A and B are shown apart, each in its own frame.
Chain A
């Protein structure tokens, strides 16, 4: 498969704050990537660099074959970008405003744009500023997909959407990737996305800590269940992190396969329910993992 995005040792600092500390990534076309990480982990900076909003201090990269420091006009022609910061602050009706997009983007599809807005019951004769936050996001999303992009970059869009719109978008994005499109979505609400995403990138402190297909999570991590009075020494280890409270009073924990091998973990402790992306996110955010480059490249993605 061809690469949609390739970054090599990209760094970006804001004064003494190192937002990105040598990020290297290879994202293949046709996949749905979710980008996870705590606030300040560097997700938005990475997104902004991918969209050329900012330039890296060092390192290089290609997005759809175009260098990320390119000064060419057509760089974003096939990239759809949606972010909460997008705000069309013009005193025009949306039908007037977006009619200009058809001139800007040669692949603009008015049918897709109007179809999505009709589906979501948004009146094109309104001005953008008259819409609610969620509706603004929906319009921005419709505009991003109407350009018929090859790559969609979505920065924290799910938080303001209602359940219906979220389901609609996820469904749309699923179809988009099946048709060969690539999605990179930064989010903190993992539960909604995990069923659609097939690859997970986890950032921590400006670095990529985890870069694996979702289906390979169980090859790297073990999910174990702790009964209320279980005193197994594994549970007192710092890297054995509680991720869920079960209905029977037991708790679910995630531990790396590597660590579990050093303990004698009896079969009865195994939790055979699949490991979710959300649980891995919790595992990382609760500090269960310290060696930041440990998992990258260990799994045979192919």
Chain B
């Protein structure tokens, strides 16, 4: 074995030498011709490992026939392959670093060797740095272990993998046509059973831990089967190898599971979140109240979505959470604890909006307004359109003078207010002068819908000079009973249909169509293609 290893290392070193020369010359030449030397340098990250694996599989597996004829045991053939693989990876890694350093020196690229972390650490207060790093480290704690173990398993599997395609194909064909009827039917139906199980328990299979278990088992078992088959092991030896692989896989799985379960019960909030996210439904020991507590904390939007999905799957049959019916999770706490605009929006989307009351909606806007100012984000309000609000609530929200709340009330009024809601209309009119330009346009659209005719900015100015727009409310054009109003086919709609069309399309539309309808603005024939399509979808007309 030692002689063969020396023979193979000689080839590895020779190829590595060529790799170093070609990389140096190639990168410099490409940089000279086309520029972008950092890109070519980055390619080494892919080329290096590929070359290492290419070399590894060029040596023992490709020469297996004559190696097996040598006086070397099969165990040592495997050891030889493993050593070759490790040696090739290490040598090529060192060679890649060497290329990197030489090129950095040639290009005088000091930046490449600059450790920014030290600057950040010295510039930032220690506490701030700890606060920033803690959630990351907590995440790395469990996911880092998972990635690390998977990488080890993957490397181990590749290093162990000796395959002869013809033998492998024959092996699986033989398994498919096994003489033993129990084995044959297990193989033939096993994959169907696996897919069925995966479909039924997909939350288990698709959780990070589930994926880890499957990947680990696949890496180790497939490789063991493949390699023992290529080496022509006897049943006894193969069983022994399989048992070793099973033990290796079991140790990894048990270690990671116990580590994650310790995390679930950890004092550290971030570690608990990371562990629950990692285990998914396997974290069955975690109480609903604990999960709710996590959702009520200042977690970011990605975690809100992951954790929220888990919560909804386990306790709400995948439905949206009804805030009034969940006694463990407080909607307002969950909203008010969030630190950024997308976190609040993600949290809001976990809940059933039809179950939200005025206080809840008010809490949302109280939280959103300052965050929107920070990030200059826009909240369209469609998610709250079906909340349990009445005109008085809307008027109260309008009175907060928060831009987000005002915009929402103007939107809400188009869908739920009627021309008879004089107080609300008057409230909208009264605040008009204080609105932002966007809110003014939105208010004009709301007044148009309620009035039954398109109110332009000029109309408004004229109205201010003459009669208040609210006095139009209740005019004949505004009186439409959307319950009985039946639209004509789109092609037959005329401008005279506009008042009813604008009110009723909003009354009868599913909330999902709200953004399309609002994009159309005041709807009056002749209509563009998009608006026609929207009308057809809402009213189911030709």
List A contacts of B176 (CB < 8 A): 15
Q: Which residue of B lies closest to A54 (CB)?
A: B232
- Is A233 in the interface zone, CB < 8 Å from B? no
List B contacts of A85 (CB < 8 A): 65
List A contacts of B177 (CB < 8 A): 15-17
User: Do B7 and A88 touch across chains, with their CB atoms under 8 A apart?
Assistant: no
- Is A123 in the interface zone, CB < 8 Å from B? no
User: Do A104 and B4 touch across chains, with their CB atoms under 8 A apart?
Assistant: yes
Q: Which residue of B lies closest to A87 (CB)?
A: B65
Assuming the contacts A85-B65, A89-B58, asked whether A14 and B70 have C-beta atoms less than 8 A apart, the reply is: no
List A contacts of B71 (CB < 8 A): 73-77, 104-105
List B contacts of A104 (CB < 8 A): 3-4, 70-72
Among A13, A69, A90, A103, residue most surrounded by chain B Cβ atoms (within 10 Å) = A90
Q: Which residue of B lies closest to A84 (CB)?
A: B65
The segment from B233-241, B316-324, B368-376, B521-529 that touches chain A is B233-241
Total A-B contacts with CB atoms under 8 angstroms apart? 89
Q: How far is the CA of A103 from the CA of B1 in the complex (A)?
A: 10
Minimum C-beta distance from A65 to chain B (A): 14
List A contacts of B70 (CB < 8 A): 76, 104
Q: List 29 A-B contacts (CB under 8 A).
A: A13-B174, A13-B179, A14-B174, A15-B174, A17-B174, A17-B177, A51-B68, A53-B68, A54-B232, A55-B232, A55-B233, A56-B234, A69-B236, A71-B73, A71-B74, A73-B1, A73-B71, A73-B73, A75-B73, A76-B70, A77-B71, A86-B65, A86-B69, A87-B62, A91-B11, A92-B7, A97-B7, A100-B3, A104-B3
Minimum C-beta distance from B8 to chain A (A): 8
List B contacts of A57 (CB < 8 A): 235
List A contacts of B14 (CB < 8 A): 91
Number of interface residues of B (CB under 8 A): 36
Minimum C-beta distance from A282 to chain B (A): 30
Q: How far is the CA of A176 from the CA of B349 in the complex (A)?
A: 86
Q: Which residue of B lies closest to A73 (CB)?
A: B73
- Is A48 in the interface zone, CB < 8 Å from B? yes
Q: How far is the CA of A67 from the CA of B149 in the complex (A)?
A: 39
Picked from B66, B73, B233, the residue with its CB within 8 Å of the CB of A88 is B66
List A contacts of B68 (CB < 8 A): 51-53
- Binary B-proximity of A10-46 (CB < 8 A = 1, otherwise 0): 0001111100000000000000000000000000000
Among B62, B71, B176, residue most surrounded by chain A Cβ atoms (within 10 Å) = B71
Picked from B1, B74, B173, the residue with its CB within 8 Å of the CB of A15 is B173
Taking beta carbons and an 8 Å cutoff, which residues of B are in contact with A?
A: 1, 3-4, 6-7, 11, 14, 58-59, 62-63, 65-66, 68-76, 170, 173-179, 232-237
Picked from B1, B66, B170, B236, the residue with its CB within 8 Å of the CB of A86 is B66
List A contacts of B173 (CB < 8 A): 15
Q: How far is the CA of A2 from the CA of B70 in the complex (A)?
A: 24
Q: How far is the CA of A75 from the CA of B76 in the complex (A)?
A: 13
A interface majority secondary structure: loop
List B contacts of A194 (CB < 8 A): none
Assuming the contacts A15-B173, A53-B232, A105-B71, asked whether A92 and B66 have C-beta atoms less than 8 A apart, the reply is: no
Could you tell me which residues of chain A, from 116 to 157, have a CB within 8 Å of some CB in chain B?
140
- Is A285 in the interface zone, CB < 8 Å from B? no
Minimum C-beta distance from B79 to chain A (A): 11
Among B6, B59, B73, residue most surrounded by chain A Cβ atoms (within 10 Å) = B73
User: Do A81 and B179 touch across chains, with their CB atoms under 8 A apart?
Assistant: no
- Is A219 in the interface zone, CB < 8 Å from B? no
Assuming the contacts A54-B232, A100-B3, A105-B71, asked whether A15 and B66 have C-beta atoms less than 8 A apart, the reply is: no
Minimum C-beta distance from A96 to chain B (A): 8
